[in-house]
Amino acid sequence: MSHTSKIIAAWLFDVYSSPKGLTIWLIDEDGNKHVCSADFVPSFFLHLSPSDMKQAEVIAKKCSVPVSTNRTTKRDLYTNNELQVLQVNIHDTMRFKETVWFFEKYFPPFAFFDSDISVAQLYLYHTDLFPLAFGEYHIDENGKLSAFNLLDNREAFEYRIPPLTMLTIRNANDFVPPKYRLFVQLEIIYDNKSYVLEQQTPTEILESLNWHIYHFDPDIILTEYGDASLMPMLTALSKKHNVPLLFNRDKGVGFFTTKESSYFQYGKVVHKDGAFELAGRWHIDVHNSFTVAEAYLDGLYEIARITQIPVQRQARASIGTGLSSIQLSWAYRNNILIPSKKREPEDFKSASTLLLADRGGLIFQPPIGYHEDVAELDFVSMYPTIMVRHNVSPETINCRCCNSNIEVYQDAAESTLRLHPDISQDCAQGDTNSRPERKDVMFSGSRQSREKSTYGLVEKHVSGKSLRNTVPELGYRICTKRKGIVPATLRAVVEKRSYYKKKKQQLKQEGNLLWEVYDNRQSALKWMLVTCFGYLGYKNARFGKIEAHESVNAFSRDAILQAKEIAENRGFKLLHAIIDCMWLKKPGAIENDYIQLCKEIDSKVGIDISLEGIYSWILFPASKMDAQLPTANRYVGYYRNGEVKIRGIETRRKDTPKFIKTMQGAMLEKLSQAQTVAGVAALVPDVLEVAREYIGRLQAGAVNSMELVIRRNISQEASEYTNNSVNAVVARMIEEAGVHLAAGERIEYIIIDQTGKRKPEKAKPLALYAFEDGYDIEKYTELALKAVETLLLPFGYDVERLKEEFDKKYKFCYNKTKEIRKKTGEHNEPVTSTNFHRSQYLLW
């Protein structure tokens, strides 16, 4: 079919592999959709010995997929050397992975490069296009994209988004996720109208859904639990009843799906739902997208543009995957080989060097209790700034291109700097100035005294030449000949986030609602900057190296110590510090004093630091495990401007029942009236009264059970539990009800008998719960008292004293469970609230 050639001013909406090569969707300024194809031959590379390369050329002729080969040269990131490689070109974009798998039968994994990147991403890297790129697209008479003129830049601060239309599909009854329901009633929302599909048969429901999609023709289908439940369920019904769904605009391509997975991350098991992607339309599941959850669609657009990952895939990808894509694109443009697996091993280290290197950020533990007139100073994007400023990157740390006769390393026992024997001792003198010993420093959560360390060789001279930069404490060399891949790719992210934060503040002050757009953009980039540090040491990072990770930690420790010294020289007292934040106090200090301190730290340390605010009062609570120990990441305080900042306590935690959060929030609202610690102390009786009112309702059985739901993630599948913990019991009940949960998935339940004496049902899953099941008053009272203790322990109110106070003044009874069992003769029954009727939402 022939077309008339045309030039369209439009945004790049979607790109994916198809029998035509690549299918590309565009949306113009009027919202019209245009589809075209593009010719593209993706390639991967093999680095082999000469004999193996000849063998690979012979093997290529036996491949069932049409391929061609040619020899070329590419650069290795770490050595910066040109390498001869075999380029394997695949002439069918739909069979790229199949071709890679074919060659993997014959050659080891470390020989493969550029082999596990999606074809769509390779195309975007190759053309320098990106999702939502605005430009003039030339489509020839055969419907092929023949040329384009970009009028956009993925690093642009300001850009326009096409006029996208959106339709939402959700479970009309959202009492529990659709995974737990035998029947789901669909609700369709678009054009500010809601439609509940009340048809009786599956065929009628599918036809009604198709009518809405056809009538509205949305660019985006937004769902809740779409990947895990709704879309698989609807497609299964579609096949069973032979009613094709109109989800795809491109009728010649099927849905793109992946399987769910569970993996271990940062000390916990995480579950990831599989993907369900569309062709010519976007499907975005708000419950399967970290980016959308944190920064809504504005943040997703921002991340997709800068990472060059198609929007649907980026919505489901981790922030680390997006960061990796920025690096892969940079490597592609610079003719650098992209390994399919991490190839750079950890350097050999002596035991003494390991002791120095294997430490995290620096923590000064806070004094337990309430404090007033405390200022919080925060280093702005400390870790990314360190990487950019000091050129910290996997290939620049102990690089292979800066070989010389200088050998720098750290001896932990002697803290001396040793030079190669060819360097005279005269040159070494004066280069080993050690900083003063600093004590009471925490590394990775344990208290240690800081050893004297050597920071030299930053700008020392031998025979008129400047020695290379080195990492504080560790003495690792840093390349001085080239910029690393990490600082090169982080620069734009740092600059864009800084711009968005300033723009947000400006618009917010003006009362312009667009500030929310910039806030979402900077929030998305914030998580990328947070991730960039951890990704340096990630075991599967293609361009990762543990020494780079250790170097950033060393620079951060040095920065916080320098800042501490500067502050103390100005008369400030350090109360608390954690990695990139400091809490300082000085009698009579005003805001300008802290601003001037920030300027001095910035000028001497080289990292921007800002005053977050001055607290009227701040609480550093004690550890829940030991009342004598402080905690580094739990605090709550009110700034002088009335804003509250909460970290780590019950009202901020995701696993705290809503009722407990509300109670603690009401207590904090009462404490907000205080301007000093003395004022806080004077309000303690009022705070106790607030707690009494809430706990009184709890003990009377008058709390709505839905406010007592606890949400946890299971660490393994139900059949793998060997104990009878609450999580294990709930997981087994859900499994027995016919719903399989993978490790890392979330469960929701209400505790009905923590002791388990009644029967094995310690708790009921929310999906199986009926209001007459009640709740365990004793257990929830204990949780409430612990939340009260968090705020009032500095005034002597621990859980035991709180029990005594409430029992004495208000006749609360904490053995009520046993007493009521005796009265009713039901010795195995827990105390429950029974003044509710069975829920109309009971599913099983």
Q: How far apart are CA 209 and CA 200, in angstroms?
A: 13
What does DSSP say about strands 282-285 and 220-223: parallel, antiparallel, or unpaired?
A: parallel
| Same domain for 230 and 378 | no
- DSSP symbol at 336: B
The CA distances from residue 175 to 170, 761, 843, in Å, are 12, 22, 10
Give a yes or no: residue 612 inside a domain: yes
Residue 264 is encoded by which pair of tokens? 């271990």
Q: State how far the Cα of 587 lies from the Cα of 313, in Å rounded to an integer.
A: 53
pLDDT along the chain (844 residues), means of 10: 83 95 96 96 96 95 95 93 96 96 94 95 97 97 95 96 96 75 83 89 93 96 93 93 95 90 76 91 94 94 97 93 94 94 71 78 93 95 91 89 50 33 32 36 38 32 45 89 92 92 92 94 92 78 85 93 96 94 95 95 92 95 90 93 93 94 96 95 95 92 93 90 88 88 90 79 88 90 95 94 81 48 34 34 30
Give the pLDDT confidence score for residue 139 in this predicted structure: 96
Residue in the structure block whose two tokens are 């293609």: 542
Are 353 and 418 contained in the same domain? yes
CB 670 within 8 A of CB 679: no
Q: How far apart are CA 36 and CA 146, in angstroms?
A: 10
> Does residue 407 share a domain with residue 259?
no
What integer pLDDT is reported at residue 344 of this predicted model?
67
Residues 136 and 55: beta-carbon distance below 8 Å: no
SS3 of 379-426: the string is ECCHHHHHHHHHCCCCCCECCCCCCCCCCCCECCCCCCECCCCCCCHH
> Distance between CA 673 and CA 114 in Å, rounded?
60
Predicted local confidence at residue 36, as pLDDT: 96
Considering the domain architecture, whether residues 102 and 205 belong to the same structural domain is answered as no
CA distances from 702 to 106, 659, 696, 708, 774 (A): 69, 12, 9, 12, 10
User: Does residue 53 contact residue 86 with C-beta atoms inside 8 Å?
Assistant: yes
DSSP secondary structure letters along 205-253 = HHHHHHHHHHHH--SEEEESSIIIIIHHHHHHHHHHHT------S-TTS
Structural domain harbouring 207: 166-318
Residues 620 and 766 in one domain: no
Q: Alpha-carbon distance 438 to 69, whole Å?
A: 61
pLDDT in tens, 597-654: 999 999 999 999 999 999 999 999 999 888 889 998 999 999 999 999 999 999 999 9
Q: Structure tokens of 183?
A: 């029947």
Radius of gyration of the chain (CA): 31
| Domain end call among 116, 150, 184 | 150
In a domain, 762, yes or no: yes
Tokens of 521: 């953009």
Closest CA to 489 of 432, 535, 430: 535
**Alpha helix positions (H), 225-369:** 231-241, 290-307, 311-316, 319-333, 351-357
Q: Is residue 504 part of a domain?
A: no
757 neighbors 821 (Cβ within 8 angstroms)? no
> CA–CA separation, 261 vs 667, rounded Å?
41
Q: Is residue 439 part of a domain?
A: yes
Q: What is the CATH number of the domain that holds 581?
A: 3.90.1600.10
Q: Within this chain, do residues 682 and 624 fall inside the same structural domain, yes or no?
A: no
Q: How far apart are CA 28 and CA 8, in angstroms?
A: 7
- Co-location of 308 and 360 in the same domain: no
Dihedral of alpha carbons 795, 800, 805, 810, sign? positive
Q: What's the CA gap between 358 and 354, in Å, rounded?
A: 6
Domain-ending residue, one of 120, 150, 180: 150
d(CA 161, CA 134): 9
Ranges of H-type helices in 30-155: 50-60, 96-104, 119-127
Closest CA to 186 of 176, 199, 175, 165: 199
767-768-773 Cα angle (round to 5) = 125
In a domain, 491, yes or no: no
Q: Residues 69, 88: contact at Cβ < 8 Å?
A: yes
d(CA 593, CA 570): 9
Same domain as 206, residue 262: yes
53-81: pLDDT as tens digits: 999 999 999 999 999 999 999 999 988 89
Residues 256 and 363 in one domain: no
C-alpha distance from residue 594 to each of 588, 600, 617, 636 (Å):
11, 10, 17, 21
Q: Taking each helix axis as running N to C, give the angle between helix 515-536 and helix 319-333, from 0 to 180 degrees, rounded to the nearest 10.
A: 80
Q: Report the sign of the C-alpha dihedral through residues 57, 58, 63, 65, in that order.
A: positive
Residue-wise burial string across 699-724, b where 16 or more C-beta atoms lie within 10 A, e elsewhere: bebebebbbbbbebbbbbbbeebeee
Longest pairwise C-alpha distance within the chain: 94
Please choose, from the candidates 237, 318, 327, the residue with its C-alpha nearest in 3D space to the C-alpha of residue 272. 318
The pLDDT score that the predictor gives to residue 343 is 66
The answer on 705 and 818 residing in a single domain is yes
Cβ pair 667, 788 in contact under 8 A: yes
pLDDT for 428:
31
179 in a structural domain: yes
Based on the structure, what is the number of domains in the chain?
4
Inside any domain, residue 636 = yes
pTM across the whole model = 0.84
Residue 134 lies in a domain: yes
For residue 577, count other CB atoms closer than 10 A to its CB: 25
DSSP letter string, 492-552: HHHHHHHHHHHHHHHHHHHT-TTHHHHHHHHHHHHHHHHHHHHHHT-TT-TT--HHHHHHH
Exposure of 688 by Cβ count < 10 A (0-12 exposed, 13-18 middle, 19+ buried)? Answer: buried
Regarding whether 643 and 789 lie in a shared domain, the answer is no
Q: Distance between CA 270 and CA 844 in Å, rounded?
A: 27
DSSP-assigned letters across all residues of 46-63:
E---HHHHHHHHHHHTT-
**Which secondary-structure segment (H or E) carries 30?**
none
Final residue in a domain of this structure, among 588, 614, 648: 648
Q: In angstroms, how far is the first alpha carbon of the chain from the final one?
A: 54
Neighbours of 468 (CB within 10 A): 18
CATH of the domain at 246: 3.30.420
Pairing outcome for strands 220-223 and 166-171: parallel
Q: Are 164 and 59 in contact (CB under 8 A)?
A: no
Long-range contacts (CB closer than 8 Å, 24 or more residues apart) made by 634-640:
635/366, 635/576, 636/668, 636/791, 637/374, 638/671, 638/672, 638/674, 639/613, 639/614, 639/615, 640/613, 640/614, 640/615, 640/616
Chain centroid offset of residue 787 CA: 27
* 762 plus 640 within the same structural domain: no
